[in-house]
Amino acid sequence: MQKLMLATHFESEFFLFDDACILDIDNFVKRLSSIKEKGVRPDLIGSIITHYASKWLPDLLDDDGKKTIPNAEESPESVTTSWMKKRFFVETLVGILPPEKESIPCNFLLRLLRIASMVRVEPAYRDELEKRVSWQLDQASLSELMIPSFSHTCTTLLDVELVLRLVRRFMNLDEAVRSGAALIKVTKLVDCYLAEAAVDSNLTSSEFVALASEVPSHARAMEDGLYRAIDTYLK
C-alpha cells in the first residue's frame, strides 16, 4: 500500500510538470532537483526529462527529422530569438542529465545532439552529449545517427566528422564496455552508415577510410556491409 501511495504521488508530481513548467524551464529545474532529493531512480528522472523535452524539440524538426525554420507568421518572435531560446533550453537540459550511463536512451541523446549542432550550443555542452552518446553507441539506430552537417565548412551532407568522433570515443572506452556484442553492433552500424554516406560525392576517400578503419577487422564476422559501402562509394 505504501509503495502504491508513493507511486501515485510520484505520478502526480510528474504530470504537474506539464501545467506548471512547460513554459518555465527554471521552474522545471527546481522541481526536478526536489524530486532528485527524494531519491527517485535515475531512469525515472531520465523519463521526466525526455517527456518534458519532447514538448519543446519537435518544433525544431519536421516529420523527416530535417531542419526547419520557424514560421514568422506563426510567432511574433524573430527567428534569431527563437533559436537563442532553443539553444538555452538544450544547454539547460544537458546540464541536468543524470550522470548514470543508461538513464537517458541513446537515440534521444542523438536527437538532442542533432538540435545542439543546429543551434550551435557551446562546445562544452556538445562535448558532453558526444561523450554520453559514445557510452551507448551500440544502442544507436542508423536513422538517428544520420545527423546532417550544419557547418558551413563541411562539404558533406552528413556530419561524418561527428560520427568519427563518436566511434573513436567508443573505441577508447574500457575494453569490457566496447567488446563482444557491443563492438559487433557498433561495427555493423558503422558499415551501414558508410553505405549511406558513400552516396555523397563530396565524401573524400580519407574520410571513408578513416571511419571504416576505426573499428577492428575482427569485429566484422562478415564483411558484406563494408563491401557494399565500398561498392557504393566507387560507383
Query: Which of 145, 119, 24, 74 lies closest to 32, judged by CA?
Result: 24
Angstrom distance (rounded) from CA 123 to CA 108? 19
Query: Which of 125, 114, 137, 104 lies closest to 58, judged by CA?
Result: 114
Angstrom distance (rounded) from CA 205 to CA 188? 20
The tens digit of pLDDT for each residue in 20-57 reads 555 678 888 888 888 888 888 999 999 988 888 877 66
Indicate the average pLDDT of the chain.
83
Count H helices and E strands in the chain, helices first: 12, 0
The tens digit of pLDDT for each residue in 11-29 reads 555 555 555 555 678 888 8
Amino acid at position 200, single letter: D
- pTM metric for this prediction: 0.83
Q: What is the CB neighbour count within 10 angstroms for residue 123?
A: 8
Place of cell 527517485: 40
Angstrom distance (rounded) from CA 10 to CA 71? 37
Exposure string over 76-113, b if 16+ CB within 10 A, otherwise e: eeeeeebbeebbebbbebbeebbeeeebbbbbbbbbbb
